[in-house]
Chains A and B, each alone.
Chain A
Amino acid sequence: MSEYVTLREPYAARRQQSDADFLGMYVFLATEAMLFGALMCLTFLYRTQHPQASALAAQHMQLWIGAANTGILLTSSLFVALGVLAARHGQRRTTAGMLAGAMALGVVFLTLKGIEYGLDYRDGLMPVIGHPSPVRQGPAGLFIDLYFVATALHALHMIVGLVVLGTAATLVLRGAKRLPGQAVVVEMSGLYWHFVDVVWVFLFPIFYLARG
């Protein structure tokens, strides 16, 4: 798969360069995994300490929005994977089209997330200074706040992912990156997007499905 790669400094061989690109991205994604992993560990530890309160809090989550969003993200990942496949075969337009499709699904995800936050506000899950909410009392509040941090951070990664995919699609479409020689730009953007998907795959059961 590396025979078509365009060589750049400081590399001497195609295979070496392609391996280095993938290795670098995997290391980067491993650091991202440690970032979210630490948060998930913390959530799990609180769940061990306060099982009832966590289950209680999880029952306030919008399970069906979460489920729909999981499906949307998994589908967007399929689009990205097809885009990478097209890029490796040098199909400029198909690649850009697939990436655009994934981005559209990403926007739907974020819109649903926004609606969900609105519902959370209505239900008194959000911390509002001066308005203590009964839902947030006691250890349940810890679980709810971890949910906000985790999903907000994930949404931030989604936004970065949209920018990354958008840039890759534009570069490919305008011919600034030539396929398949520079397909690496699509591959790397794709890896990032898939990883953000994987994070959600874990956030979904940890927060939405933990209703005891």
Chain B
Amino acid sequence: MTALPLQTPEERVSYLNAGHTLRSWFLTTDHKRIAILYLVAITGFFAVAAVGAALIRLQLMTPTGELLSHEGYNRAFTLHGVVMVWFFLIPSIPNTFGNFLIPLMIGAKDLAFPRLNLASWYIFVGGGIFTLYALIAGGVDTGWTFYTPLSTMYANGHVLAVIAGITIAGFSSILTGLNFIVTVHKLRAPGMTWGRLPLFVWSHYATSVILVLATPVLAMTLILLFAERALRLAIFDPSIGGDPLLFQHLFWFYSHPAVYIMILPAMGVVSELVTAGARKRVFGYWFVACASLAIAGVGFLVWGHHMFVSGQSPYAGAIFSFLSLAVAVPSAVKVYNWTATLYKGEVVLDPPLLYGMAFVGLFTIGGLSGLMLALLAIDEHVHDTYFVVAHFHYIMVGGAVSGFLGAAHFWWPKITGRMYPLVWGRISAGLIFLGFNLTFFPQYLLGYLGMPRRYPTYPPEFQALNVLSSAGASVLFVAYVLPLVYFTWSLRNGRAAGANPWGASGLEWTTPSPPPKHNFEQIPVVDRPAYDYPLTRARGDE
């Protein structure tokens, strides 16, 4: 760290004080400001969805569920699922940290299409308002999966408004993905070859490919759903020979890769956290980079594992089972490489690395339980039970949300120019690991015992584990509020961070914190690989 006296963020011109009017925020085309707009929006949506989660866990304290009616519970978990998936998890890391960091990391002034980037935020918020309207007006009772014919002919919630909102938000995803792809291809600084890209950029590139190619299929599926429900067209209507399984195929063609939209950016974050925490080049750079692309590619071939017991042909089931097991290989490669990166490092157990390690641990457990679900005979028992719920929460909360918080703890000083209290960061990381396991591990057991998901009431023999899970959720709640408190506190009271508080490599740390409006005083010229730390600098590199 530098010994020079640090300027506070206010003393220096940066993107934050380049303008103070509302107009300068809401009509900005600066990727960094748009990232902040996204950060505010998705934090709001996270809070809304968390209310749904709280209602669910409170209801399940007792087998007879005293808090909500069945209808109320169905609406609560649909709210939780829809808002978490489309309005928090999918945009969480790419649209905030990806938006902020990709131009900085590759040495560009901005994304390729700055105005499109702003438009994408407005579209996202527009879709969110549609959805929130539907939720305030009474909610939806279909689950986030919208299976026909329940969603088209039987459900009586505000299905149309919600699917309209999701479709609109989908276009925002598409525009962001498009922007990232073109930016990575065309705006890399001189000398920033593909082999020198930070892994964060690689994983966002892979994510963008999924966003761009999968999201339109979801849009079409929801348009068809809309046509069937609103206009009474017959698209999947089984009473005249329509096939609800084709809806499921189209839905999961998007929704399974969507899981990788959530987890790949988090993997990119972890690659940064682990290397910076170990002060060492990542172990097996090309393996980790290619694993991202492999996950994005093979991830498109596995959607049928959501349909093993749906009436899909058992032969198709076998193909999907095999491919699902195959997609685990690149994930395993990543986990082992991260572990090996710490070997002979110069490790500092700051909050970012703790979050990174929490991610690796929880993702490993979640991923392996995913393999159980990919095994035909086990899935036949645990499909649509709490085992599945536990599995995807290990990936999405243990994985994606840990990645999101890790990113926040790592780049907060870069974004705001201020440090947060590290002790509290360590405490919250520990609490999250503890609370998370307490909440979701019992759900694996519940699932194997045979408790189906989406149940407002349940047989009494499941109570002990449900109470344990609800207790864990309260710990998790505290652990999520903590960062909100100390981050807010640090905005005024945190000490000035300086350009590179962690001593990390990467172009984003060469520019002041917070960065100036155009990112760099001068477009940098790159002549070194990513993660060029002294420990692993090859002789001759210097």
Are chains A and B touching directly in their complex (CB below 8 angstroms)?
yes
User: A149–B240 contact, CB under 8 A?
Assistant: no
User: B109–A139 contact, CB under 8 A?
Assistant: no
By a CB distance below 8 angstroms, the chain B residues around A28 are: 174, 178
- Highest count of chain B CB atoms <10 Å: which of A10, A20, A149: A10
Q: Would you call B492 an interface residue if the criterion is a C-beta within 8 Å of the partner chain's C-beta atoms? A: no
Map CB proximity to B onto A3-41 as digits: 1 under 8 Å, 0 otherwise. Answer: 000000111100010011001100110111111101100
User: A35–B234 contact, CB under 8 A?
Assistant: no
Q: Would you call A142 an interface residue if the criterion is a C-beta within 8 Å of the partner chain's C-beta atoms? A: yes
By a CB distance below 8 angstroms, the chain B residues around A50 are: 241
CB neighbors of B among A137-155 (8 A): 137-139, 141-142, 145-146, 148-149, 153
Among candidates A16, A20, A24, A153, residue contacting B223 with C-beta atoms closer than 8 Å: A153
In the assembled complex, the CB of A206 is this many whole angstroms from the nearest CB of chain B, namely 15
Closest 6 CB pairs of A and B: A139-B241, A10-B109, A34-B216, A35-B216, A145-B233, A20-B186
User: B182–A35 contact, CB under 8 A?
Assistant: no
Q: Would you call A46 an interface residue if the criterion is a C-beta within 8 Å of the partner chain's C-beta atoms? A: yes
In the assembled complex, the CB of A30 is this many whole angstroms from the nearest CB of chain B, namely 7
Q: Would you call A111 an interface residue if the criterion is a C-beta within 8 Å of the partner chain's C-beta atoms? A: no
Map CB proximity to B onto A118-136 as digits: 1 under 8 Å, 0 otherwise. Answer: 0000000001010000001
A-B contact pairs, 13 of them (CB 8 A): A16-B186, A16-B187, A20-B187, A23-B182, A24-B178, A30-B213, A32-B216, A35-B216, A35-B219, A38-B221, A42-B246, A139-B240, A145-B233
User: B235–A24 contact, CB under 8 A?
Assistant: no
In the assembled complex, the CB of B84 is this many whole angstroms from the nearest CB of chain A, namely 24
A10 to B86, CA, bound (A): 30
User: A49–B243 contact, CB under 8 A?
Assistant: yes
Closest B-chain residue to A129, C-beta based? B232
A16 to B183, CA, bound (A): 11
Q: Would you call B112 an interface residue if the criterion is a C-beta within 8 Å of the partner chain's C-beta atoms? A: yes
User: B108–A149 contact, CB under 8 A?
Assistant: no
Q: Which residues of A contact B (CB under 8 A)?
A: 9-12, 16, 19-20, 23-24, 27-28, 30-36, 38-39, 42, 45-46, 49-50, 53, 127, 129, 136-139, 141-142, 145-146, 148-149, 153
A141 to B241, CA, bound (A): 9
User: B110–A9 contact, CB under 8 A?
Assistant: yes
User: A35–B240 contact, CB under 8 A?
Assistant: no
By a CB distance below 8 angstroms, the chain B residues around A39 are: 220, 224
User: A38–B217 contact, CB under 8 A?
Assistant: yes
Known A10-B109, A38-B217; judge A30-B212 contact (CB<8 A).
yes
A33 to B345, CA, bound (A): 47
User: B240–A138 contact, CB under 8 A?
Assistant: yes
- Highest count of chain B CB atoms <10 Å: which of A33, A42, A146: A42
A39 to B236, CA, bound (A): 12
User: A31–B235 contact, CB under 8 A?
Assistant: no
Q: Would you call B227 an interface residue if the criterion is a C-beta within 8 Å of the partner chain's C-beta atoms? A: yes
By a CB distance below 8 angstroms, the chain A residues around B232 are: 127, 129
Known A9-B109, A127-B232; judge A31-B240 contact (CB<8 A).
no
Closest A-chain residue to B113, C-beta based? A24
In the assembled complex, the CB of B94 is this many whole angstroms from the nearest CB of chain A, namely 15
By a CB distance below 8 angstroms, the chain B residues around A10 are: 103, 108-112, 114, 187
In the assembled complex, the CB of A10 is this many whole angstroms from the nearest CB of chain B, namely 4
Taking A23-B186, A36-B220, A38-B220 as given, write out 15 further A-B residue pairs in contact, using a Cβ cutoff of 8 Å, ordered by the A residue number.
Answer: A10-B103, A10-B112, A12-B523, A20-B112, A23-B185, A27-B181, A27-B212, A31-B216, A34-B220, A42-B235, A46-B243, A49-B243, A129-B232, A139-B242, A141-B237
User: A9–B112 contact, CB under 8 A?
Assistant: no
A65 to B290, CA, bound (A): 50
User: A34–B234 contact, CB under 8 A?
Assistant: no
By a CB distance below 8 angstroms, the chain B residues around A138 are: 240-241
User: B234–A145 contact, CB under 8 A?
Assistant: yes
Closest B-chain residue to A35, C-beta based? B216
By a CB distance below 8 angstroms, the chain B residues around A46 are: 243, 246
Q: Would you call B120 an interface residue if the criterion is a C-beta within 8 Å of the partner chain's C-beta atoms? A: no
Closest B-chain residue to A32, C-beta based? B216
CB neighbors of A among B125-178 (8 A): 174, 177-178
Q: Would you call B78 an interface residue if the criterion is a C-beta within 8 Å of the partner chain's C-beta atoms? A: no
User: B217–A27 contact, CB under 8 A?
Assistant: no
User: B213–A34 contact, CB under 8 A?
Assistant: yes
By a CB distance below 8 angstroms, the chain B residues around A139 are: 240-242
By a CB distance below 8 angstroms, the chain B residues around A141 are: 234, 237, 240
User: A20–B182 contact, CB under 8 A?
Assistant: yes
By a CB distance below 8 angstroms, the chain A residues around B377 are: none
Closest A-chain residue to B183, C-beta based? A20
- Highest count of chain B CB atoms <10 Å: which of A28, A46, A138, A142: A142
Known A9-B110, A27-B178; judge A38-B250 contact (CB<8 A).
yes
Closest B-chain residue to A50, C-beta based? B241
By a CB distance below 8 angstroms, the chain A residues around B242 are: 139, 142
By a CB distance below 8 angstroms, the chain B residues around A32 are: 216
Q: Would you call B231 an interface residue if the criterion is a C-beta within 8 Å of the partner chain's C-beta atoms? A: yes
User: B217–A35 contact, CB under 8 A?
Assistant: yes
Closest B-chain residue to A22, C-beta based? B182
Map CB proximity to A onto B398-432 as digits: 1 under 8 Å, 0 otherwise. Answer: 00000000000000000000000000000000000
By a CB distance below 8 angstroms, the chain B residues around A149 are: 223-224, 227, 233, 235
By a CB distance below 8 angstroms, the chain B residues around A42 are: 224, 235, 246, 250
Q: Would you call B215 an interface residue if the criterion is a C-beta within 8 Å of the partner chain's C-beta atoms? A: yes
User: B216–A142 contact, CB under 8 A?
Assistant: no
By a CB distance below 8 angstroms, the chain A residues around B253 are: 38
User: B112–A24 contact, CB under 8 A?
Assistant: yes
Closest A-chain residue to B180, C-beta based? A27
Closest A-chain residue to B220, C-beta based? A38
Known A42-B250, A127-B232; judge A19-B178 contact (CB<8 A).
no
In the assembled complex, the CB of B240 is this many whole angstroms from the nearest CB of chain A, namely 5
Closest A-chain residue to B179, C-beta based? A24
A147 to B392, CA, bound (A): 37
By a CB distance below 8 angstroms, the chain A residues around B213 are: 30-31, 34
Among candidates B116, B214, B241, residue contacting A142 with C-beta atoms closer than 8 Å: B241
By a CB distance below 8 angstroms, the chain A residues around B243 are: 45-46, 49
By a CB distance below 8 angstroms, the chain B residues around A11 are: 187
In the assembled complex, the CB of B411 is this many whole angstroms from the nearest CB of chain A, namely 21
A168 to B111, CA, bound (A): 24
Closest B-chain residue to A45, C-beta based? B246
- Highest count of chain A CB atoms <10 Å: which of B213, B220, B224, B237: B220
By a CB distance below 8 angstroms, the chain B residues around A33 are: 216
User: A31–B220 contact, CB under 8 A?
Assistant: no
User: A38–B216 contact, CB under 8 A?
Assistant: yes
By a CB distance below 8 angstroms, the chain A residues around B186 are: 16, 19-20, 23
A146 to B231, CA, bound (A): 12
By a CB distance below 8 angstroms, the chain B residues around A16 are: 186-187
By a CB distance below 8 angstroms, the chain B residues around A34 are: 213-214, 216-217, 220
